[in-house]
Amino acid sequence: MTEIYAAPAEFPANPNFSSGPCAKRPGWTVEALANALVGRSHRSKPAKERIQRALDLTRELLAVPEDYLIGIVPASDTGAVEMFLWSALGARGVDMLAWESFGEGWVTDVEKQLKLEDVRVLKAPYGELPNLAEVDFSRDVVFTWNGTTSGVRVPNADWIPADREGLTICDATSAAFAQKLDFPKLDVVTFSWQKALGGEAAHGVLILSPRAVERLESFKPDRPLPKIFRMTKGGKLNTTIFEGATINTVSMLCIEDAIDAMEWGQEIGGLEAMQARADANYKVVADWVEKTDWVDFLAKDPATRSNTSVCLVISDPQITALDEKKQGEVAKAIVRRLDNAGVAYDIGAYRDAPSGLRIWCGSTVEASDLSALMPWLDHAFAVEKSAILDTPSE
C-alpha cells in the first residue's frame, strides 16, 4: 500500500464536527448539569433566576445594547425567526435575501404561508451573496448573517444604513458568538444555543431593538397567531417574556447547559476570545485547502467565507469530470469512511446544498482536532477516488 493510502496515526481527540448540534465546549461532561433545577417549575423563583442568568450572560457576552430586549422562545432559531415574521411583517414591503436553504425557507414562509403581496426576493446561488447594494431599506429586510448550509456570510454590516426606514431581521444562528454582529444595524437578531455555544437544541433566542418593539405595538397583523408567537397583550409588548417568564415550559437542563457554555466563554476571555478561536479553527482548514489540489471552498469570495460552517467542494478534475451523481457518491463515501473510523462525525454537506463536506469550526472546537482531521481527509479522498475510478461504468 502506498503512503497516500495509509491511514494517519493521529486521531482527533473529539470527532464531533457537526454543524448543529455542535461540539460541546472543551472539557464538558454531564456533571456540568449537576445543579440543573430538574423537577422544578420553570416559574419558580430559583428557576426564573437561572433563566435570567442565561439572559444576562447573553447580553454580556454578545455586548447587546441595554435598550434591546432578549427573550428565550420555543422551537430553536426557526421558532425565533418565525415568531417575528408572523407577528410583524406586512406593515410595509419586504426584501428577502436568500443564498442558502434557511434563507430560502424564510422566503417560502413569507410568500407562500404569510402570502404577503409586496415581497422582493434577492437570490444568489450557493457559494455567493446577492448584490447587497440592491437592498431597499425603506422596506423590511430579512437575511441570514451566516449561511449555515453554504458557508457564506455577510462580511460586515456596512451595507446597512443607520437611518433605514424598515426593520432589519437577522437570522444569526451560526454567527452569534463567532462573528461580530453590529447590533445598531440590526433590529431583530435570532440564534439558538446549539450552534456556536455547543448547547442543546429546542430553544431559540430572540433579541429586539426599540424599533422592533415599536413595530410589534403599532402593527396588528390580519392573521391568527398561535399562542407561542404572541408577544403583545392589549397592543403592548408582553415584557415578561424578556424578563425570564418564557411563553412555554423551558428545559432547565438546557438552561443550565447554556449557562455553562457562556460562563466558559467568559472564562476564556469573552466574545473576542471566542471569535479568535473560530478564526484560528477556520485558518487550519484554509491553510490546508490552500495546499491541497483536490478540494476548494464552496464560498467563492474569501471575504464572505464563514469561520464556523466551513463548506467545501471536491475540485479534483478527474472527479468533477464524472456525472453529478458519482461526484456526490465520492463525497458521501469520504463522510462514511471517516464516520466509521471514528475520526469525524456528521461532516457531509447539507442535503439541499451542492455535494461536498461541511466542517464546523466554531469556538467549541479545538484547532488541534482540526489539524488531526486534515490528513484523514486526504487519506479518505485518495482511497475513495481510487475506488470510484476503478469501478467500471454501467
Query: Can you tell me whether residue 48 is helix, strand or coil?
Result: helix
pLDDT (tens digit per residue) in 250-278 = 999 999 999 999 999 999 999 999 999 99
**What per-residue confidence (pLDDT) applies to 50?**
98
> Which has the closest alpha carbon to 261: 147, 151, 362?
362
pLDDT-derived band of residue 155, with 50, 70 and 90 as boundaries? Answer: very high
pLDDT-derived band of residue 83, with 50, 70 and 90 as boundaries? Answer: very high
140 pLDDT more than 90: yes
Are 154 and 181 contacting, i.e. CB atoms less than 8 angstroms apart?
no
Which CATH number is associated with domain 30-266?
3.40.640.10
Buried b (16+ CB within 10 A) or exposed e, 293-314: ebbbbbbeeeebbbbbbbbbbb
Mean of pLDDT values over 180-185: 98
pLDDT-derived band of residue 392, with 50, 70 and 90 as boundaries? Answer: low
Integer Rg of the chain from CA: 22
**What per-residue confidence (pLDDT) applies to 4?**
60
CATH class as words, domain 10-25+270-389 = alpha beta
> Which has the closest alpha carbon to 287: 229, 361, 182, 219?
361
pLDDT (tens digit per residue) in 211-227 = 999 999 999 999 999 99
CA distance linking residue 277 with residue 370, whole number of Å? 12
Break the chain into its structural domains and give their ranges.
10-25+270-389, 30-266
1 pLDDT more than 90: no
> Which has the closest alpha carbon to 108: 132, 78, 145?
78
pLDDT (tens digit per residue) in 332-390 = 999 999 999 999 999 999 999 999 999 999 999 999 999 999 999 999 999 999 999 98
pLDDT-derived band of residue 393, with 50, 70 and 90 as boundaries? Answer: very low
More confident residue, 391 or 70: 70
Mean of pLDDT values over 148-159: 98
CA distance linking residue 110 with residue 141, whole number of Å? 12
Are 213 and 198 contacting, i.e. CB atoms less than 8 angstroms apart?
no
pLDDT-derived band of residue 310, with 50, 70 and 90 as boundaries? Answer: very high
Whose cell is 417574556? That residue is 241
User: What element of type H or E holds 95?
Assistant: strand 94-98
C-alpha cell recorded at residue 66: 441595554
CA distance linking residue 83 with residue 75, whole number of Å? 10
2 pLDDT more than 90: no
pLDDT (tens digit per residue) in 283-306 = 999 999 999 999 999 999 999 999
CA distance linking residue 300 with residue 22, whole number of Å? 25
19 pLDDT more than 50: yes
C-alpha cell recorded at residue 232: 403583545
DSSP-assigned letter for residue 391: S
CA distance linking residue 177 with residue 60, whole number of Å? 11
Q: What is the pTM of this model?
A: 0.96
Alpha carbons within 13 angstroms on the beta-carbon side of residue 278 total: 29
258, with CB counted inside 10 A (0-12, 13-18, 19+), is: buried
CA distance linking residue 168 with residue 324, whole number of Å? 38
**What per-residue confidence (pLDDT) applies to 3?**
56
Q: Is the dihedral of CA 238, 240, 241, 245 positive or negative?
A: negative
Amino acid at 116: L
Say how far residue 136 (Cα) sits from the centre of its chain: 25
161 pLDDT more than 90: yes
pLDDT (tens digit per residue) in 238-254 = 999 999 999 999 999 99
**What per-residue confidence (pLDDT) applies to 231?**
96
pLDDT-derived band of residue 394, with 50, 70 and 90 as boundaries? Answer: very low
Within 10 angstroms of residue 202's Cβ, the number of other Cβ atoms is 15
92 pLDDT more than 50: yes
